[in-house]
Structures are given as C-alpha cells and as structure tokens.
Amino acid sequence: MPNEARWQEKEPGVLALAGDWRLPSLAQQLRQDARFLYEGDWRMLSLADLQALDSATVAFVLDWQDQRRRAAKAHAICSPLPQKFLDLLGLYGVSRQWLEILEE
C-alpha cells in the first residue's frame, strides 16, 4: 500500500511529490498546502518518488505548470517521469510537448 501524499523541498527550488497522489490524498494536500504548492519558490517539480497516481495527479501537474507560466515564474518538470504518468498523458491525449520537461 502506498504511503500517504507528501511533498518536500528535495533541493533548493525543487518541489518533490512522493507517496500516493491519487484524488483523495491530493485533495487533502491541496486543502492544507495549496498556496504553498502553487506559489512557493519552485523552479522544478519532481515526480520521481510517486508511488501512486491517477488522472487527478495529471490535472494537478498541468495546472501547476499553467499557473507558474501565467505568473511568469520559472518552471520545469524533472525527468524521468513515471511510466504511469506518461500512460495517462497518452490516454487523455496530452502530448509531452505540452509539458516543459527538464531532461537529465
């Protein structure tokens, strides 16, 4: 069973999501920390430590990136991306080109 949703500053400016970021856990994290998650001084988002995700996770990542873009703040998603995340992007017709991915 995956650990509950959690986030941390993995290194300066890198927001790392870990554990279970499916809808129930994601909703709880957003109720608690939405402002910090969206408005913190993050230049990169890491999904490498996710244990569970669903379409809500994809929606969060796209929204996070969109809000950063509209606020003219630096943003990128660190690779590698979890295969399930890539599979869900494909399922919903979202191209990798929509994501600003920092390739390792």
Domains of the chain: 6-102 (3.30.750.24)
How far is the C-alpha of 21 from the C-alpha of 53, rounded, in Å?
5
Place of tokens 């400016």: 13
- Does residue 1 carry a pLDDT above 80? no
Q: Which tens digits make up the pLDDT trace of 12-66?
A: 999 999 999 999 999 999 999 999 999 999 999 999 999 999 999 999 999 999 9
Place of tokens 């703040």: 73
Query: Residue 68's pLDDT is what?
Result: 93
Query: Residue 6's pLDDT is what?
Result: 93
- Does residue 104 carry a pLDDT above 80? no
